[in-house]
Amino acid sequence: SSGINAEYGERAAVLEWLSPVRGDLFLCCYLEDCVNKLYLYDMSGALMQEISLPPGAVYGCSCRKKDNFIYFKFVSFVNPGVIYHIDMEDKTKTEFIAT
């Protein structure tokens, strides 16, 4: 396995990727219970927010250290694909485009 393992209580998760956002946060994508989960952490490693998603997978993410937004694509068995936008000012997730 090529990820970093993290223990969350009694569950284990694998870090698939992370990306800096807004200069003071990291967006982390974990594989947990066969689905992807997104979390925002501050630079000290404290959990700031879980980004709510139904069961599925995150494919592709666009965010940089200087950006104040996040775009990512989500897919599942019942959803062929949605690109979401997260505004980091108020941390709201909105559907940007259905693919």
Q: What is the percent of the chain with per-residue pLDDT over 90, rounded to a whole number?
A: 70
Reply yes or no on whether the pLDDT at 61 is more than 50: yes
Task: DSSP letter for 78, please.
Answer: S
> What sign does the CA torsion over 21, 22, 24, 25 have?
negative
Question: What value does the mean pLDDT take over residues 65-87?
Answer: 93
Would you state the torsion angle of the CA atoms of residues 85, 87, 90, 93, taken in this order, to the nearest 10 degrees? 0
SS3 (DSSP) at 63: coil
pLDDT at 10 (0 to 100): 52
Structure confidence at residue 69 (pLDDT): 94
Q: How far apart are the first and last CA of the chain?
A: 30
Quick one: which of 58, 84, 63, 71 has its CA closest to 21? 63
Give the H/E segment covering residue 33: none
The arithmetic mean of pLDDT across residues 9-14, rounded, is 68
